[in-house]
Amino acid sequence: MKNWKELVVLLIGIVMVVLVKKGEAAIGVNWGTLSQHRLSATTVVDLLKQNKISKVKLFDADPEVLNGLRGTHIQVMVGIPNEFLSIISSSIPAADSWVHHNLSAYVSTNPSVDIRYVAVGNEPFLSSYSGQFQSYVVPALLNLQQSLVKSNLASTVKLVVPCNADAYESSLPSQGAFRSDLTQIITQLVSFLNSNAAPFVVNIYPFLSLYGNSDFPQDYAFFAGTNHPVIDGPNVYYNAFDGNYDTLVAALSRIGYAQMPIVIGEVGWPTDGAIGANLTAARAFNQGLINHVLSNKGTPLRPGVPPLDIYLFGLLDEDSKSTLPGNFERHWGIFSFDGQAKYQLNLALGSGSLKNAKDVSYLPSRWCIANPSKDLSSVSNHFKLACSVADCTTLNYGGSCNGIGVKGNISFAFNSYYQMQKQNVRSCDFDGLGVVTFLDPSVGECRFLVGVTNSTTSSSHGFSGKWMIIWTLIFSGSIVILL
């Protein structure tokens, strides 16, 4: 040991590994807020408490959300969007500003928010980003760590970087290795995490493996056994989660960090928007995952050592998320947008089956549909307009509303737009092609929603937070103009 600090870091790392070996894995959730029908933070926090969910992962530092979490003792991982990394990596004043406004303002006040982690970026090494954020990650970490030290938060708040599973690769788990273009930067990252007693955070999605590969064995994505196990020397893998997890374990071992604690930052199964995305499959996957992890069996490369924590993705549906990966992106929630449980799920947190959100206030029970007395031959532009603003993803192939016919599709689009506009009477006009009805037009599993009144608009914190940093830089003299 070079000094006592190295000894302390080593001892903390040993304690973390011991805790994991004792089966202390905990179930948390990702709370995303990209929704046109966003419930108030008070309603969502009450939903978390009802279901005894004690860990939550956020994708930004939304003031409403963080204020809602004050005094709850819910452990929080707060996020820094990738777009902030460039500024923070190049300026210590910017890092200081972010820590001051988004950590100290909540951790050091009473009642406080129990912030345990800061996620520096979200999957910044994703291959589809073509290296856009890679060079910023380590410098941002170093600047933020200095800021944490100056704010006396370094001992309680740990910096992590959620990575997508495409950061590593192998045909067999035991041969796992980080992508060649990432080996150097991942080694630097893991060294930083290890020296600060922080875990490696990874997002694992067996659904995406199934969705993107027609040859992927469906039963291998779940936890009920498979006819297509992966044989890797003496080890046999019966589910994709274990195989993916051990590929990461092997990759970490390859760069000298075999005992690095691992947190699953995102894992889940969508309920709509694609073939295979449905309620039955989502329940089977999530319940199987929870039971599997909490059984403390571990994996072949880490027997008896489950992940440190697992954050299900996600808490609520988000109808404003990008659909570039697929229409299923807006349907990952274990709860629908209004906080109602989609299916029975036992989180093993002592609350039994999921409890619905309380005191949700809905708009009146009325819907906007295609006017049955009108010629709809000119409806195309109105349909496109409605769906360009509102969420129509369930109408597409594999979606729950895919089979409701042309008029049904038009009505669904009109209603989605109408509810998003808080049932403003003019929003159901569509040049006379829409009409308001008081009869629920839902068909089978295709739900025509009614909006909620106790909601807030989608977060603008990403914008305002960025400008807070920019103004700090201006006043500190670090920059003159930032375009």
Number of C-beta neighbours around residue 50 at 10 A: 15
* Host H or E run for residue 164: strand 163-164
CA distances (Å), origin 483, targets 92, 208, 436, 475: 19, 37, 46, 16
266 token code pair: 């995102």
400 token code pair: 């729950």
Taking the C-alpha atoms of 28, 305, 288 and 198 in order, what is their torsion angle to the nearest 10 degrees? 30
| Closest of 436, 430, 421, 301 to residue 376, by C-alpha | 430
Q: Determine the Cα–Cα distance for residues 444 and 297; give it in Å rounded to an integer.
A: 40
Can you tell me whether residue 329 is helix, strand or coil? Answer: helix
Q: Tell me whether residue 420 is exposed, middle or buried, using C-beta atoms within 10 angstroms of its C-beta: 0 to 12, 13 to 18, 19 or more.
A: buried
Could you tell me the sign of the dihedral formed by the alpha carbons of 184, 190, 194, 196, in that order?
A: positive
Contact of 389 with 420, CB cutoff 8 Å: yes
Please give the positions annotated as active site: 123, 266
**Long-range contacts of the stretch 215-219 (C-beta < 8 A, 24+):** 218/276
155 token code pair: 């001992």
Looking at the chain, how many residues does it have? 483
CA distances (Å), origin 302, targets 29, 34, 258, 373: 24, 36, 10, 65
